[in-house]
Amino acid sequence: MESRELADKIARLVWDKKAENILIMDMRQLTTMTNFFVLCSVDSEMQARAILDHVQESLRSETIKPWHVEGTAGSSWLLLDFVDVVLHVFRPETRRFYGLERLWGDAEFIEIDDHTFIAN
């Protein structure tokens, strides 16, 4: 699976679990560490865990597994690293504090909203 396709699939999976402020950041012109970030915000630790479980279970059926998982119970920032795509699941206050959108402001931003998946 191509990295953009994987980023889109991950965005769809977090949208399925009602994540908010979903954003795909195209990092290919800025760094060699990954091709895409997928960022989203959640209201609770339980929602964050549900998203991580849903993404991992859904991709496992396609034999796609994260290379690294970051974050523990009570964390306000969880991460699934698929090498070419990195999913960041934030509590809103933590997302504002770290400001990846500001830090990587030269990235191309692809905003995901309710209309993105209507046709799918």
The beta-strand segments (E) located in 9-52 are: 20-26, 36-41
What is the pLDDT, as a whole number, of residue 116?
72
Residue 119 lies in a domain: no
Residue 38 lies in a domain: yes
When pLDDT is cut at 50, 70 and 90, the band that residue 71 belongs to is confident
Contacts of 86 (CB under 8 A, 6+ apart): 34, 36, 37, 38, 79, 80
Q: Average pLDDT for residues 18-25, to the nearest whole number?
A: 96
Q: What is the mean pLDDT of the chain?
A: 92
The reported pTM is 0.93
The CATH number covering residue 12 comes to: 3.30.460.10
Q: Which domain holds residue 23?
A: 3-112
When pLDDT is cut at 50, 70 and 90, the band that residue 23 belongs to is very high
Residues 72-88: pLDDT tens digits? 778 899 999 999 999 99
